[in-house]
Copies of this chain bind each other. A is one copy, B any other.
Amino acid sequence: MKTKEHKIPEATIKRLSTYVNYLGRLGTDSNPVISSEILGESCQVSPAQIRKDLSYFGEFGVRGVGYDTKKLEAEIKDILGINHNWPTTIVGVGKLGQALLNFDFFRNHGFRIITAFDSDPNKIGTEAANGVTIQSISDIEKCVREEKISIGIITTPVAAAQEVADKLVSGGINGILNFAPIKVRVPETITLRNVSITSELDNLAYLLTQKKR
């Protein structure tokens, strides 16, 4: 894979995710080749944008023809780094944590949730999903280190989020996906993304309010 030096827009990465998602759902038999125009229609992105996004990483198409569907899917997975299984853990097996644990999509998509942690004694030792047993939060540092877990997903209440993040970090985690609505603080070396479902709703409310005025 040719990775050019330029910094890649975050929006490009988000769109690549959309593309690969759509390509994966496409019957490769009936659509062995796809053009940026057709792909763009499904993903609601302009054809030029798609070509530009891909051009950051190399040349994957054939001029006059289009892209080999299966090959393009593989290439994007390679770019995103979801062509292997990231060892992942979920911390806080509440409503949201349960939903994520049971979300099959992840498994077919480059992530392998291999452990789950909670502080509730009633939950510890029970099976959360797919053969994953909930472990005590006090074992998390050791476990992250020993199982070489790369990604930690935080779905604890706000009050516990920072503390959990600290434990993940000291266990040697590489990246954190945080669903608690605060910006947790981690060292520079850790990759962190905060997911704010609330802000999506707020944004919707804003747009609706604008429309009314």
Residues of A within 8 A of B (CB): 3, 10, 13-14, 16-18, 20-22, 25, 42-44, 79-82, 86, 94-96, 98-100, 102-103, 105-106, 109-111, 150-151, 158, 174-175, 177, 181-183, 191, 193, 195-211, 213
Contacts and interface: CB of A to CB of B under 8 A. Distances in A.
Contacts of A204: 151, 175, 177, 191, 193
A177 B211 CA distance: 16
Given A102-B95, A199-B17, A200-B195, A183 B81 contact: no
A151 B208 contact: yes
Contact of A80 (B3, B79, B209): B209
B181 A110 contact: no
Contact of A14 (B96, B105, B196): B196
Given A183-B43, A191-B211, A86 B205 contact: yes
Given A44-B183, A151-B208, 17 more contacts: A14-B196, A14-B203, A17-B196, A80-B202, A81-B205, A81-B208, A81-B210, A96-B103, A99-B99, A106-B198, A111-B201, A151-B205, A175-B204, A177-B201, A191-B207, A193-B200, A193-B207
A21 B181 contact: yes
A40 to B, nearest CB: 11
B103 A95 contact: yes
B17 A106 contact: no
A209 B81 CA distance: 6
A95 B101 CA distance: 10
A111 B25 CA distance: 33
5 contacts: A18-B183, A25-B158, A96-B103, A175-B207, A175-B208
Contacts of A98: 95, 99
